[in-house]
Structure 1
Amino acid sequence: MRCLSLLNPGRLPVARLAFRPLFLLAALFSVVSMGIWLAFWHGDILLNPYGGLMFWHQHEMLFGFSTAVVSGFLLTAVQNWTGLPSLKGLPLLALVALWLFARVLLAFPMDLPPWLIAALDLIFLPLVALVVTRLVIAVRRWRNLIFLPVLGLLMLANLAMHVGAIRGDALLVQDGAYLTVLLISLLMVVLGGRVIPMFTTNRLGLRPRATLRWLELLSLGSVMAVVLVQLLNLLGGELPKALQASVMGLAAICNMARLLRWDGYHCWREPLLWGLHISYAFIPLGLAMWGLALSGVLRTELAVHALTVGGMSTMMLAMMARVSLGHTGRCIRTLPGIGVALALMVAAALLRAPILALVPEITHWIYTISILFWCLAYLIFLAHYTRPLMVARVDGRDG
C-alpha cells in the first residue's frame, strides 16, 4: 500500500483534504519568513526578493501565509457545508504546488519578467474560489456564497499590490495590503460568529444565549462598511478621515459587544477556546486603534499588527490546532504546549501593537521579541501536528 501511494501521489494521506498540506506548509512558511524578517531587522540581508524585502514581507505574510490557511479552511469546510467531495488527490497537490511555486519565485525571482511572477501568484485564489463556488451552487447553499465576494476582493487587493510593486507605487501597495487585512478580518468576523459561541457552549455545557439579530447585523455590517471604505481608498475616492474613523469606531464597539455575549470568561482552562476569544478581541482593538490612527493619535501600522498578529495569526493557530484534530479523527483536546504557543502569539501581539504604541523607544527589541515568540509558537504547532497532518485518519475514514 505504501509503495502504491508513492507511485500515485494522489493516494497520499496528505492529499486527502486541503487543510493537510496547506496548514502544514503555511505554518512552516511563516516560521521561515519571520526568520528572514528577523535577520533583516538585525542587518543581515538574506534575500533579494521580487518587490524588495518590505514588499515581500507584507505580501507574503498576507498572500503566502494567511490566504493559504484561509484556503485550506474553506476548501475543507465546503465539504461539510455541501456534503460533496472537495478538492483532493492530484488536483489538490497541483494547487498546492502552484502556491509553493509562487512563493519560490517571489523569494528568488531569477530575472524573470515581473508580470510573469505576478500572474503565477494571482492564479491561486481564483482556483480556490472556483472550487468553492462549484460546490456551493451544486447544492444551493446560498448562505455560504458570502465568502465569494470576499475572495474576489482579495484577488483585487493582490493585483493592486503587484501593480504597485511593478510601478514602484508604495501607496498602491499599502492600500492593497490594508484592504487585504480588513477582508481577512471580515472573514474572521463571519466565521468567528459561526463557530466561537458554538464551540464554547458545546465544550463547556453552557446554555446558548439568544442571538441578538440587530447586534449581529451591526457587527457584520459595520466591518463590511470598513472594507468598503478601504476599497474606495484603493480606487482613489478617499472619504474624510473623521468619517473613516467613525466607521472604524462603530465596528469596534459592535464587535466587542458581540464578543462579550459569548461567555469567554468561562474558557480560562481551555486554550483552544480562550485562544479564539482573545484573538477575536484583537479585531475590535485593532479597529479602534486604526480609528485613532486616522485621527492622528497612533501609527496605522500598529493597528494593522493588532489585527494581523493578534487577530488573524492567533485565530489561525487556534483554528488549525482544532481543525487538524477533528478532521484527522482525533479527540479535540489541547495538546501539550499548544496553550503556551497561543500565549506566545497573544504576547507577541500585545508587544507589537498596544505596548509598542505606549513605549515606542524600545521598537527594535519589541520587533525582535515578537518575531521570536511567533516562530516559537508555530514551531510548537509543527512539532505536534506535522505527523497527524501527513498520516491517515486514526478512525480509518477518508479525509
Structure 2
Amino acid sequence: MASVIRLFSEGFRIFFFAAGLFGAVLGLVWVGWLALDVRSVVDGMAAPYQWHAHEMVFGYGLAAVGGFFLTAVPSWTGTDAASLWFVILVFGLWALGRAAVWAAPVLPSGLVMTLDLLFVPVLASKILSQLSKRPKPQNMVFLSMLCALWVANLLVHLEWAGITGESATQGLRAGLLCLAGLIALLGGRVTPAFTRNAMKRAGVAEADWPVTPSVLNKATMVLAVGLPWVAIMAPPFWVGSWACLLGTVQLLRMLKWRGLWTVDQPILWSLHLGMAFLALGLILFGLASGGIGSESGAIHVLGLGAIGVMTVAVMSRAALGHTGRPLVAGRSFAFVYGLIALATVLRWLAQSHQSALIGSGLIWSLAMLVFALAVWPIVSQPRLNTP
C-alpha cells in the first residue's frame, strides 16, 4: 500500500511509469495489426493507422507531458506540488480516456469523445493556477500549447463521431506538431543548460560552454507556439513550410551546443540526439509537403526520434533528479535511448516494407518495456536523502 500511495504522491511517478508501460503495449498492438494486415477496427470506427497515431500522440505523449508539467511547473513558480488526490484524479482522467478510446467499438462515439477530452482541461487548470503566481511569458505560452492539443484531439473525435467529413488527419498532424513544438521550447532550454552545468562541473573553460543567440531563441518561441495552430487552420503546404523553418532554426541553434562533448554521458547525449531528430524531422516534414520525400517517414522521425528520444531522456533525468538520485543514466536507460534511435532509423528506411515496419515496432516496444522496468524502482521507492 505504501508503494501505491507513493506512486501517486508526485505526478512524475505514476505518469512516467504509465507512459513506458502504455508505450510498450501500444507498440505490440500495432505490430499485431501489421502482422495480421488488419484494415479496420469495426465499421464506422477509425482505421488502425489513425487509432495508432492517436494513442501515440494523445495517449503516450500526453502521459509524458502531464508528468513533466506536474513536476516542473511547481519548481518554476515556487508553488506547492499537486496533492495526492489531484494526481489520482488527473491520472484517472488520462486512464479513463485511454479506456474509452480502446473500448470505442462498443461505446457511443459522443461518450468516447467526452471522456477522452477531460484530461487536458483539468491538467491545464492546475498549471494555470500555478503559473499565475509568477506569470512569465516564456512559461504562460505552454497553456496555448495545451489548448492546441485539446483542439487537435477534438478534431480527431469529430470525424470519428461522424460530425465532420475529414478532420482527423488534420487533428493528428496538429497534435504531433504540438508535441514537436513543446520539445523545441523545453528541449531548447534544458539541453544547452544541462550541458553547460556539466561542463562547468568538469572545469571546462567558460568560452567553450554552449551558447544560443538570443534571436534564435526568440524565433523558436514564435515558430513553436504558432506551429500547432498553423497545423489546425492552414493548408498542408503552409504547415510544412512553417515546420521546415522551425527545423532550420533548431539546426542553427544546435551548432554551438557542444553535443560532441557529451558522447560519454548518456544523460546528456540523449537530449542532443532528440533535438537533432527534431530538426531533421521538421525539415523532412517540410520537404514532404512540397513533394520531396515521404511524409510518413518524416512523421516517424518526429514521432519516434524527436518525441520518443526526448520524452524518455527527460523522464529518466527528471525521475532521477526528483528522487535524490545521481544524474547518471545507467545501462538500462542508455540502452533505451539507443533502441529508440534504432527504431527511428529503421522506420524511416522502411517506407512500406512490412518486415521493417514490424521490426521497428518491436524495437520500440522493447525500449518502452525496458524503460518502464528501469524507472519502476525509482518512482516506487522513497526519495534518497543524498547531500
- TM-score norm. by structure 1 comes to 0.89
- 1:364 corresponds to which letter in structure 2? Q
Matches within 5 A, 1:1-399: 5=2, 12-43=5-36, 48=41, 51-109=46-104, 111-167=106-162, 171-205=166-200, 206=204, 207=206, 208-233=209-234, 238=235, 241=237, 244-353=239-348, 355-356=349-350, 360=351, 363-395=353-385
Deviation at 1:249, TM superposition (A): 3.1
CA distance in 2, matches of 1:139, 1:254: 29
| Equivalent residue letter for 1:394 | L
Q: Judge which range, 149-158 or 293-302, deviates more.
A: 293-302
Q: CA 1:162–1:90 in structure 2 vs 1: closer, same or farther (change >3 Å)?
A: same
- Tell me the distance in 2 between the aligned counterparts of 1:69 and 1:180: 14
Q: Which moved more, 1:163-172 or 1:22-31?
A: 163-172
More deviation in 245-254 or 116-125? 245-254
CA offset digits 1:309-343 (Å, max 9, x no partner): 00001100111111111111111111122212111
Displaced runs of 4 or more, over 6 A: none
Q: Which moved more, 1:160-169 or 1:189-198?
A: 160-169
Q: Is the 8 A contact 2:210 2:258 kept in 1?
A: no
Distance 1:350 1:378 in 2: 17
Q: Is the 8 A contact 1:48 1:108 kept in 2?
A: no
Distance in 1 (alpha carbons) for counterparts of 2:166 and 2:287: 20
CA contact (8 A) 1:34 1:375 kept: yes
Q: Could you tell me how far 1:382 is from its partner in structure 2?
A: 1.7
Following TM superposition, by how much is the alpha carbon of 1:86 offset from its aligned partner in structure 2, in angstroms? 2.1
Q: Relative to 1, partners in 2 of residues 1:170 and 1:131: Cα closer, same or farther, differing over 3 Å? A: same
- Deviation string for 1:58-110 (max 9, x for gaps)? 11111111011011101110110111112121221122112112212211236
SS in structure 2 of the partner of residue 138 of structure 1: coil
Give TM-score scaled by structure 2 length. 0.91
Offset, 1:186: 0.8
Query: What is the alpha-carbon distance in structure 1 between the residues aligned to residue 292 and residue 138 of structure 2?
Result: 39
State the shift of 1:180 in Å: 0.8
Task: Indicate if the aligned counterparts of 1:22 and 1:68 stay in contact, CA closer than 8 A.
Answer: yes
Give the 3 Å change call, closer, same or farther, for CA 259–60 of structure 1 in structure 2: same
Higher relative contact order (CA 8 A, sep 6+): 2
Decide whether the 8 Å contact of 1:335 with 1:384 is kept in 2.
no
Q: Which AA in structure 2 matches 1:391?
A: Q
Identity of aligned residues (%): 29
Q: Secondary structure at the match of 1:87?
A: coil
Match of 1:290, as an amino acid?
Answer: F
Letter in 1 for 2:180: S
Q: Which runs of 5+ in 1 are unaligned?
A: none
* Cα offsets for 1:176-212 (capped at 9, x unmatched): 0111111111110110111111111112334334441
CA RMSD in angstroms comes to: 2.3
Contact kept? 1:82, 1:141, Cα under 8 Å: no
Amino acid of the residue matched to residue 42 of structure 1? A
* Partner Cα separation in structure 2 for residue 167 and residue 83 of structure 1: 45
Q: CA shift at 1:299, angstroms? A: 2.5
Query: Match of 1:71, SS?
Result: helix
Amino acid in the other structure paired with 2:170: D
Alignment: residue pair count: 379
Moved more, 288-297 or 155-164: 288-297
